Amino acid sequence: MSLFKTICVLVFFIFFGIIDSEAQGLCDHKAFGNDGFELSSTDICLPEVLNIKDKSGNDHVKYVYDYQGENLESILLTATKQLSFIYTDIGKPKNYTILQVGEKKGKVEISCKNVNVRANNEPIYSYTVCDSLVEFNIPLHKVNNFDTYKIEFGSGISLVNIQSTQLPYSFRRVVSLPYIFKISGNYSDPSKNCSNTSSAKVIPSKSIITALPYSPNIEKVELLDLKRVKLDYTGPYVNDPSSGPVLYRYEKNNFSTIQEIQKGIVSGQYEFSIPDSSKAYCFYVKRKSICGKEDEESAEICTHPIMKLSFNPNFIQNELSWDQYPTRFKGLTLLPFPLAILNGISFNTSQVLKVIVENLNPSSIMLSSSTFNYFHKSVDCSKKYCYQTEQVISGTYKYVSYYGRSISNKVCIDQSQTILPPITNLLVTTNKQNYVYVEDDKSWPLRKENWFLYKQTGSNFTKIDSTSNIALGLKDSSILNKSENYKVGFVDQCNSRSALSDSVSSVFLNFQGQNTINWTPGNPFSADSIGGYELFLKDEKTKVQLKVEELDSSKRKTEVDLGPFEEFATFYLKAKASGHGINKFSNSNDILLPISPVIYLPDVFTPNKDGENDILKINGKVLMFKDFQMQIFNRFGEVVANFNDVNDTWDGVYKNNEVVSGLYIYKVSGILKNGEKFSNAGVLEIMR
């Protein structure tokens, strides 16, 4: 569908709601007008060309020259830009509706006008035959706008002259069949009359198969949907409502359910509701005979609704099934030919399946008339497919020939709009950033083209990453500062999107106090619960990972021993899946705890050159120092020793002289690698 068509359909439903367009038609809707264009004439005598002048000022203006109540989407498929049109194969005179559709400021605009089309001055009329009695009827009708009418019989002698004020007009005459007649109309203004005159017609003699053009006949039964049906009926016009045709309906193959639907039915279109959308129904018309004999009846035409349309991903095909067209006729089992001639009932059907792809022109597939399902193989599942079946029914009923069509409801499938089942097995684990991995169980057989990672932000989940190779995982590149919640979805080769998976939560590790580690309670597994935890440390020098302890799944914190560490203590937590995923793990973030420095100096320093304790060294956990300074003061406040590095030493000499025994004060200050400041002080005793 083009952008304009899509906009029109959407705007139409948004601004005007769902309009029962098949029942009333778009032309009858109050939201639209009839002043969008002008016609070159409201009465056309073929082969005159009808011309249109657009005065709407709308964009994307198009026309339908024979609008019959279709919905907006249908007319947009058939509308044309051409401003002239000639009606061909007119048959009987007809009143046509011309519809103009356009767009103004994003809204649909529609205008409609009517035109009478004739090949000559023949009006709308009908006749009914019973033995030798013929009844002619000229009804009030849009096409019948002549000033006078004339009925001629036999040799052409004018028998009846009728004024327009006498319509509707009915006339009976006893004749011998076959019988010749001619009915014509005339305008007082000669310029309005068609140049071709009405031709004589023949009422045929009764035979084994007789074609009577005005016998009751349902030409078309079309399911608009499973709850509505539209009928096109042709038959005689009547002035006496008591003798008017009556429409009947019954459930297919159950003639005992027959119901009267509408009395006094005349030629035209009708719409009715369907009592049970799961069933097929048959329709026919019956009227009283004009000569008091057996009632005159039409043949029946039945619906055959499409009940199922689905996509089979295993074979990439659309599968549809519909109600089989009945093989019984008004409850009767049909006799085979030539026995059918004995009761004047014969029944022939042919069936075609119409396929519409992406709202383009339909293609047709011929089917056996008894077929009631079809597998449309190797479809392009990324496109929209619509299907409609049509049965053509013909034969004789009580020796009178009939012809009709049964059109199913149109059903459509757009697999790209189908929401697929979500992925159920995924986990999130941390490796510098959070990664989400999916275990594809292949429950959906079609190729998955792309995977998408969604992250919770507030109350919503926002797409943050995608990949065509799920084995590589989906990555969250943001800084790790808390536990995060994720969901995963995918798009398959049909461009169908899956529902999002259940969420998984990353395990986030943190320190609480001096030597307590705690972690978040969220589950990193979508298909399993947490079976327990394992706490690991990383050796400062070798980076070897060592398991510290195993913890129950209910635990949320634990105390750790920081004694072995001098600079940083690095820990991480591994969550273990329970159930069938016992070999699945999810890592937390690494947590680094800076180790506070500890300065160790001897209580007594003896620089007496005896080989023991002659050099003052700094011991303890000192690797965290970035900058270091220590000063030693005598009792006079003089600095007798100055350390600018933790590896500096002192031999007890100040200004080339050995310092005297006694108590000395030392002060330590520095900046740690994590930016913190450090200070300490103490007393040192020197003994000689």
Q: What confidence tens digit (pLDDT) does each residue in 366-422 have? A: 999 989 999 999 999 999 999 999 999 998 888 888 999 999 999 999 999 999 999
Answer yes or no: is 431 within a domain.
yes
| 223 shares its domain with 240 | yes
Q: What is the DSSP letter of 422?
A: P
pLDDT value for 388: 96
Give dist(CA 451, CA 656) in Å, integer: 77
Surface-to-core class of residue 332, CB atoms within 10 Å of its CB (0-12 exposed, 13-18 middle, 19+ buried) = exposed
Answer yes or no: is 212 within a domain.
no
| 655 shares its domain with 622 | yes
Instruction: Tell me what the pLDDT averaged over the chain comes to.
Output: 89
Last residue of a domain, one of 203, 225, 257: 203
Last residue of a domain, one of 66, 88, 118: 118
| 470 shares its domain with 588 | yes
| 551 shares its domain with 430 | yes
**240: CB partners within 8 A, 6+ apart:** 170
| 260 shares its domain with 401 | yes
Answer yes or no: is 208 within a domain.
no
Beta bridge partners of 329: 332
Answer yes or no: is 209 within a domain.
no
- Divide the 688 residues of the chain into consecutive groups of 10 and give the mean pLDDT of each group: 40 35 63 85 91 94 91 86 88 90 90 92 92 91 94 79 94 89 94 89 81 90 96 88 86 92 90 95 92 87 96 95 87 65 79 91 90 95 95 88 95 94 95 94 90 96 96 95 97 96 96 89 94 90 87 93 82 90 87 85 90 91 89 93 94 93 94 89 90
pLDDT value for 1: 40
| 251 shares its domain with 352 | yes
Give dist(CA 502, CA 619) in Å, integer: 55
| 609 shares its domain with 570 | no
pLDDT value for 14: 34
Give dist(CA 490, CA 408) in Å, integer: 36
pLDDT value for 327: 77
Answer yes or no: is 618 within a domain.
yes
Answer yes or no: is 211 within a domain.
no
Closest CA to 536 of 583, 504, 576, 566: 576
pLDDT value for 74: 81
| 246 shares its domain with 197 | no
Q: What is the DSSP letter of 82?
A: -
CATH of the domain at 377: 2.60.40.10
Answer yes or no: is 210 within a domain.
no
Query: Residue 338 is encoded by which pair of tokens?
Result: 């030539």
Give dist(CA 148, CA 172) in Å, integer: 19
Planar angle of CA 602, 608, 613, nearest 5 degrees: 30
* 8 A C-beta contact, residue 409 and residue 387: no
Answer yes or no: is 62 within a domain.
yes
Based on the structure, what is the number of domains in the chain?
A: 5
Give dist(CA 73, CA 64) in Å, integer: 12
| 460 shares its domain with 564 | yes
pLDDT value for 120: 92
Last residue of a domain, one of 88, 118, 148: 118
| 573 shares its domain with 662 | no
Structural domain containing residue 30: 3-118
Is pTM beyond 0.85 here? no
Closest CA to 429 of 528, 506, 484, 500: 506
| 263 shares its domain with 387 | yes
| 430 shares its domain with 571 | yes
CATH of the domain at 137: 2.60.40
